[in-house]
Amino acid sequence: MSPTPLWKTAFSRTSPFSKATGYYAAFIALGLFGASMGPTLPYLAQHTGTRLSEISFLFTARAMGYLLGSLISGRLYDRLPGHRVIAGVLLLMAVMMAIVPTVPILWLLAVVLLVLGMGEGGLDVGGNTLLVWVYQDKVSPFMNALHFFFGLGAFIAPIIIAFAIQRTNDVTWAYWILALLMLPPLLWIIRLPSPKPMTVTEAHRSGDANRVLLALLVLSFFVYVGAELSFGGWIYTYALELNLGTATSAAYLTSVFWGALMLGRLVSIPLAMRFPPTIILPVDLIGCLAAMCVILIWPESQTALWVGTFGAGFMMASIFPTMISLAERYMTITGQVTSLFLAGSSVGSMTMPWLIGQLFEPVGPWVTMAVITLSLVLELGLYALIRVYVARKDAQPAY
């Protein structure tokens, strides 16, 4: 009997690689949704007859949904077959994405975005959790790859939106195309057996995690994710309001940000194997601040905006997975701890883009970059506090 071809073994129903492929495809879908709101925000405002300061509430509704979805879905993944849950989440997101451009009332659109946010949180928890259950202590490079595929989806979304705007001068078809792209990962994942949850011993439960360190890490996720989504969500409108691009070029500028994020995450996979998080994370944050300074120093330059946007996306790329790797060095990462990280991320994505929306018109577009820069400075300070706290804790004598 001839041996089974390698590709058939890799993509068999029980193969870890086959399951990881499904999660990667699901995170492409997650990235498609994550990058869709920014470039479509002015058009959604037109659909609902509202101003930018009012339509920015959609960021809050989406983030509230993400928070609820993160907290609820963790229990579902622990109690039900994970692949059925993640498939249901993808179906829910596809239906809601198709509905978005047809809603003419702001409060009703906010409800749709709330439900979409719940799906986003459930998909985020599912991808991270199920991948850990598949690869366990060997998950690190696969986790970096997972977030790379999110960046790939976020890179593709603005291109699809720009194409739809060019053809129809609207975003309805863009949302319908994005909705259809949610279905392939659903069909792939639902046919595979779900991984078994990891067994957690009594000593490894989340209650044993140091509360001060946990609070610092949750706050770090809050600040960083708020900064990332604020940049990705507002760069389109920022460029238009300052006359630094047309509607099409601003959409491509958004794609440059998410494309740089995708490229940076690809580069981070081998780097994570060679350098510890304690080196990668501060370098990333300093690089982000340098990119923001380029934009702030030359606010009227299109070249500076494009260079700074690429630099910010590239240097932000590995911060989120590196923060998880850093946390793994100091505490046991359980489902409950991960839920708190994602909850902090959700609140950050809820408040910071909303804050920029409230200040954008009365203060000026420049407030976008000012808020993001201050957030990155705070993030660097939190990292320093974590390092100091851990060093002092390790220096305490054991009794």
277-298 pLDDT, tens digit per residue, is 889 899 999 999 999 999 999 9
* Mean per-residue pLDDT over the chain, rounded: 84
Q: Is 60 exceeded by the pLDDT of residue 140?
A: yes
Angle at 66 between CA 64 and CA 68, to 5 degrees: 70
Quickly state the pLDDT bin for 204 (edges 50, 70, 90): very low
Which tens digits make up the pLDDT trace of 213-247? 889 999 999 999 999 989 988 888 888 888 887 88
What distance in Å separates the CA atoms of residue 271 and residue 15, rounded to the nearest whole number? Answer: 26
Instruction: Report CA-CA distances (Å) from 193 to 81, 82, 210, 274.
Output: 8, 9, 35, 33
Radius of gyration of the chain (CA): 21
**Domain chopping of the chain, boundaries:** 18-193+206-394
* CATH label, 18-193+206-394, candidates 3.40.1390.10, 3.10.20.30, 3.40.50.10440, 1.20.1250.20: 1.20.1250.20
Tell me phi and psi for residue 347, to 5 degrees.
-65, -35
Q: What is the distance in angstroms between the CA of the first residue and the CA of the last residue of the chain?
A: 63
Tell me phi and psi for residue 247, to 5 degrees.
-60, -40
Predicted model pTM = 0.72
What distance in Å separates the CA atoms of residue 156 and residue 161, rounded to the nearest whole number? Answer: 9
DSSP for 83-129 reads HHHHHHHHHHHHHHHHHGGG--SHHHHHHHHHHHHHHHHHHHHHHHH
> What is the DSSP secondary structure assignment for residue 194, as one 8-state letter?
P
Q: What is the pLDDT of residue 245?
A: 79
Which tens digits make up the pLDDT trace of 304-343? 999 999 999 999 988 988 887 787 777 766 667 777 888 8
Tell me phi and psi for residue 244, to 5 degrees.
-100, 15
- Which tokens go with 218? 């949750």
